[in-house]
Amino acid sequence: MKTIHFDNIDSTNTYLKNNYRFLENMTFVSSDYQSAGKGRNARIWKSEKGKNLLFSLLLTDDYLIQQYKIISILTSFCVIKTLEEYDIHNLSIKWPNDVYVNDKKICGILLEATSSSKLDCLIVGVGINVNQKEFEGDYLRKPTSMINELNKEINIEELKIRLFKTIENNLNNIDDDYYSIIKEYDYLKDKEVYANIDNENKKIKVLGINNDYSLKIEYDNIIRDIEAGEISFHNEKD
Ligand code: BTN
């Protein structure tokens, strides 16, 4: 494992996109602050300086790249295992890879890939809310953080070391059977939610995460398996 840390950067994901050619497989890049942090669906990921754990992991190993479907959900699972060590409970994965505590998001993950003729690398960007108490923005439900859950400040450096080791360990054992454990952390299972699918807003019933890490859903009397890029979830009808 190699680690790089910045006080300030545009985005740890962007840094790896620009520099992956010169870096080794399993390089972790973290930063105290990101001036242009990226979230999923082209959203901005805002984070107060020095309050949260922001990092990206570079994977250039061909075998790991081929496992991209499990990589993001396995990273969420590693976040859960690490947060459980801090006595945070009621954790779950909101497919494809958000980590929730009860009904509030505590961690987001952005998986990116760069390709020329083949996939050159995977970049797994992770933002965990650690010591930030207030979250500005238009949320139906405000996110949470470790400090809000535990009422005490967390040493981010220690959390980082623990999580990096857990991720490295699990990726080194990527062929283990994770599905039987991961499916126990399925936040959306059996919930009815609004989603945009095939450019239409629909109310769908989630049947659960499949063993290939796609999601089984039901709507209009059809049962369908979907991949992460094929759906976005909404809070309301539109
Ligand atoms: C989401 O929208 O839920 C995904 C958020 C991912 C944020 C992390 S913070 C570190 C890394 N660098 C980025 O620019 N984004 C990811």
Pocket of ligand 1 contains residue 44 by CB under 6 Å: no
pLDDT at residue 238 greater than cutoff 70: no
Compute the CA torsion angle 58, 64, 66, 72 (nearest 10 deg): -60
The minimum-distance atom of ligand 1 relative to the CA of 39 is 2
pLDDT band, residue 236 (cuts 50/70/90): low
In order of their start, the domains of the chain are 2-184 (3.30.930.10), 188-234 (2.30.30.100)
Which residue puts its alpha carbon closest to atom 3 of ligand 1?
A: 108
pLDDT band, residue 58 (cuts 50/70/90): very high
The minimum-distance atom of ligand 1 relative to the CA of 38 is 14
Burial 199-229 (b: 16+ CB within 10 A, else e): eeebebebbebeeebbbebebeeeebebebe
Q: Give residue 213 CA to ligand 1 midpoint distance, Å.
A: 21
Pocket of ligand 1 contains residue 110 by CB under 6 Å: yes
As a whole number of angstroms, the distance between CA 199 and CA 106 comes to: 28
pLDDT at residue 51 greater than cutoff 60: yes
As a whole number of angstroms, the distance between CA 16 and CA 208 comes to: 33
What per-residue confidence (pLDDT) applies to 108?
96
Q: For residue 234, how many other CB atoms are within 10 A of its CB? A: 14
User: What percent of the chain stands above pLDDT 90?
Assistant: 85
Pocket of ligand 1 contains residue 148 by CB under 6 Å: no
Pocket of ligand 1 contains residue 38 by CB under 6 Å: yes
As a whole number of angstroms, the distance between CA 138 and CA 232 comes to: 17
The minimum-distance atom of ligand 1 relative to the CA of 13 is 12
pLDDT at residue 237 greater than cutoff 80: no
Which residue puts its alpha carbon closest to atom 15 of ligand 1?
A: 38
Which residue puts its alpha carbon closest to atom 11 of ligand 1?
A: 125
Q: 212: number of CA atoms within 13 Å, CB side?
A: 7
User: Which of 8-12, 39-43, 195-199, 232-236 has the highest average model confidence (pLDDT)?
Assistant: 8-12
What per-residue confidence (pLDDT) applies to 113?
92
